[in-house]
Amino acid sequence: MSAHPTDAPAPTTVRADGRAPDDLRPIRITRGWLDAAEGSVLVEFGNTRVLCAASFTAGVPRWRKGSGEGWVTAEYAMLPRATNTRNDRESVRGRIGGRTHEISRLIGRSLRAVIDVAALGENTIVVDCDVLQADGGTRTAAITGAYVALADAVAWGLEHGEVRRGAHVLRDSVSAVSVGIVDGAPLLDLPYAEDVRAETDMNVVVTGSGSFVEVQGTAEGAPFDRAELDALLDLALVGTRQLAAVQAAALEAPAPGHPPHPQSDAVAGDEARSVAGLA
């Protein structure tokens, strides 16, 4: 059963893929996808698939040395045939596009919102997010998967003595989801077919405890009013609560090369289920 904001009537619109307006696409997070990375995840939002690999490196950038604090950053890219028609690799073009830079920075900001860089110590974690197949919501899927890969990389650092034992590096979880107004109706988690028709579309990044990290919204057609904005944010909170529970369940389960996470290392178990309204 879908969850609904308490002050809003249950939506009745049925979408082309059979979902209700407040339903996520099928979500799957598979840990340990790569053998070499300290943390890796294949995250699937319906037909959108993103591979997230977190690399743990001792040391920090030059401008960070001596601070006692670590650094977390991210890079985002799409495979040439992630979309219906082939796109040249940006490395072949000779420059990284503005959209790629923007999304890379968004992922990095989202992860840094929930990590204690002092507890991380002078270590760097880089999360590479590569879109294998794009069907809308690639940046939100990347953020959601990147957090789980980051959690595994942090656990690796603790296990190998690179991070001080007992340090609480992760303060919360973080996930993201798209929302939009399509044919006058607020919808959650838009695939490409809905995204291209949206009068308003928005990407919302939220912590596991329900705080907003970033809200990116644009009216593609008519401007939206405050009531529509509130409806979209309510939908985003419904979606990210469910995503927090999916992340927690993924981290609780053993994965190749990765044991289940204790509660101190990631938002998991009863805490995440409570956040998700599933306890």
Q: Is the pLDDT of residue 235 over 50?
A: yes
Interatomic CA distance for residues 151 and 153, integer angstroms:
5
Enter the DSSP assignment of 220. Answer: S
DSSP-based three-state secondary structure for 226? helix
Enter the DSSP assignment of 45. Answer: E
Helix or strand (DSSP H, E) at 52: strand 48-58
- Residues constituting the chain: 279
Place of tokens 């890969």: 149
Interatomic CA distance for residues 106 and 111, integer angstroms:
9
Q: What residue numbers does the annotated binding site cover? A: 99, 137-139
Q: What percent of the chain has pLDDT over 70?
A: 87
- CA 47 to chain CA centroid, nearest Å: 16
Q: What is the pLDDT of residue 77?
A: 93
Report, as an integer, the average pLDDT of 181-189: 96
Q: Is the pLDDT of residue 269 over 70?
A: no
Interatomic CA distance for residues 126 and 150, integer angstroms:
9
Confidence of residue 270 (pLDDT cuts 50, 70, 90): very low
Q: Which domains does the chain have, with CATH numbers?
A: 27-275 (3.30.230.70)
- DSSP H helical segments within the chain, as ranges? 90-93, 98-112, 117-120, 138-159, 192-195, 226-252, 269-275
Enter the DSSP assignment of 262. Answer: P
Tell me the pLDDT of the chain averaged across its residues.
88
The encoded tokens of residue 118 equal 């002092």
Reported as a single tens digit per residue, the pLDDT across 121-177 is: 999 999 999 999 999 999 999 999 999 999 999 999 999 999 999 999 999 999 999
With 0-12 / 13-18 / 19 or more C-beta atoms within 10 angstroms meaning exposed / middle / buried, residue 190 is buried
Q: Is the pLDDT of residue 217 over 80?
A: yes
Reported as a single tens digit per residue, the pLDDT across 161-182 is: 999 999 999 999 999 999 999 9
Place of tokens 């939002």: 45
The sheet carrying 27-31 orders its strands as 27-31, 39-45, 48-58, 123-133, 71-78
**Contact partners, residue 68, CB within 8 Å, separation at least 6:** 118, 121, 122
Place of tokens 């992922």: 107
The encoded tokens of residue 178 equal 């798209």
Contact 149, 126 (CB under 8 A): no
Confidence of residue 12 (pLDDT cuts 50, 70, 90): low
Report, as an integer, the average pLDDT of 93-109: 85
Q: What residue numbers does the annotated binding site for phosphate cover? A: 99, 137-139
Report, as an integer, the average pLDDT of 82-102: 77
Reported as a single tens digit per residue, the pLDDT across 249-266 is: 999 988 777 777 754 334
Higher pLDDT among residues 88 and 267, named by residue: 88
**Which amino acid is located at 45 in the chain?**
F
Q: What is the pLDDT of residue 265?
A: 39
Enter the DSSP assignment of 259. Answer: P
Higher pLDDT among residues 161 and 278, named by residue: 161
**Contact partners, residue 153, CB within 8 Å, separation at least 6:** 37, 38, 39, 54, 55, 56, 125, 127
